[in-house]
Amino acid sequence: MIAAATETTSSAIANIILLLAMHPEIQERVYQELHQVFPEQESYVSYEEMMKLNYLDMVIKETLRFISTVPMLPRKASCDLVLSSNLYSFIVSVLALLNF
């Protein structure tokens, strides 16, 4: 679990920094928001202050949507299954990689 949590978080942060570097105008808006919420240098960040970082929140969510940190999920059917559309069927023991 530690590896899963740290790999996903570090990859997401790396992608956020990459996209901010590619879009300086967005980076500037994040910078201005941080200055607005934290006008003075503080070492402690409260929950209430975190909740004010709406633009940064949008940047994080958009980055996760744009560059998926976990692009596929392995799933194994526990019983034979045909979806109502008849387009997909899963047979027990087949490992499905759900790509998104």
- Which residues contact ligand HEM (rule: CB under 6 A)? 1, 4-5, 8-9, 12, 69-70, 73
Packed helices 2-22 and 24-37: angle between N→C axes, nearest 10 degrees: 110
Of residues 27 and 69, the one with the C-beta less far from ligand HEM = 69
Packed helices 54-66 and 24-37: angle between N→C axes, nearest 10 degrees: 140
Of residues 26 and 67, the one with the C-beta less far from ligand HEM = 67
* Shortest Å distance, C-beta 41 to ligand HEM: 27
* Shortest Å distance, C-beta 20 to ligand HEM: 16
| Distance, CA of 64 to chain centre | 3
Of 28, 89, 81, 21, which is closest to residue 56 (Cα–Cα)? Answer: 28
> What is the C-alpha to C-alpha distance for residues 17 and 60, in angstroms, rounded to an integer?
10
Of residues 13 and 36, the one with the C-beta less far from ligand HEM = 13
Of residues 9 and 36, the one with the C-beta less far from ligand HEM = 9
* Shortest Å distance, C-beta 8 to ligand HEM: 3
